[in-house]
Amino acid sequence: MPSSWERASLCLRPLAVVLLILVLLPTEGWAQRRGRGQSLIHGPIEVGLRVGRDFENHAWSVGGQVEVPVGRNLELRPSGDLFFPKDGKTGWQLNGDGAIRFGQTLYAGGGIAFVHLNGGDTETGYNIFFGARASAHRGSIRPFLEFRWTFVNDTSPFRLALGFGYPIGL
């Protein structure tokens, strides 16, 4: 039986390959792609950094995320965070999330979470979140505020995250 980490790495490998392919795609103009209707990506990919506070575990976090718009109002949002608790060992969390956009500023979503805290085993759970971000301006940084819960082993710590996204290449 594979360990939790082996299962997590098997699940994340295809996602990493897809993201690498998307980042390396030719940078043809978005208006041209939309006109043909052949692209799976419906807007610029954004990369970003975030900081947060896990209030249940009394830990600060720092992490990053990628936003890949795959439909008119749908985004894939893989992300990862490092946690620095007041008491305990540094931990990490990897997420495979999806989000639905409600207009230009509001979004909500959820997905799978792989959590490794306090030097213990890697656990699998799920996330739910909602947030707000600044409206899109071509080539500009978009700050966001996000409310996130991760459900693992009958616990659901609440995390508040602040960050930004920046459109890349496409």
Domain count, the chain: 1
pLDDT at 72: 85
Cβ neighbors of 65 (< 8 A, separation 6 or more) are 47, 48, 50, 77, 78, 79, 80, 163, 165
Cα–chain center distance at 146: 11
115 in any annotated domain:
yes
With 0-12 CB in 10 A as exposed, 13-18 as middle and 19+ as buried, what is 93? buried
Which structural domain range is residue 18 located in? 4-26+41-168
Residue 75's DSSP bridge partners are: 69, 99
Looking at residue 159, its amino acid is R
Is 118 within 8 Å of 33 (Cβ atoms)? no
pLDDT at 117: 81
pLDDT at 138: 65
pLDDT at 87: 82
- Ranges of residues in the chain with a pLDDT under 70 are 1-39, 137-139, 169-170
At 8, list the tokens.
């997590």
pLDDT at 31: 44
19: DSSP letter: H
Give the CATH number of the domain where residue 84 resides: 2.40.160.20
36 in any annotated domain:
no
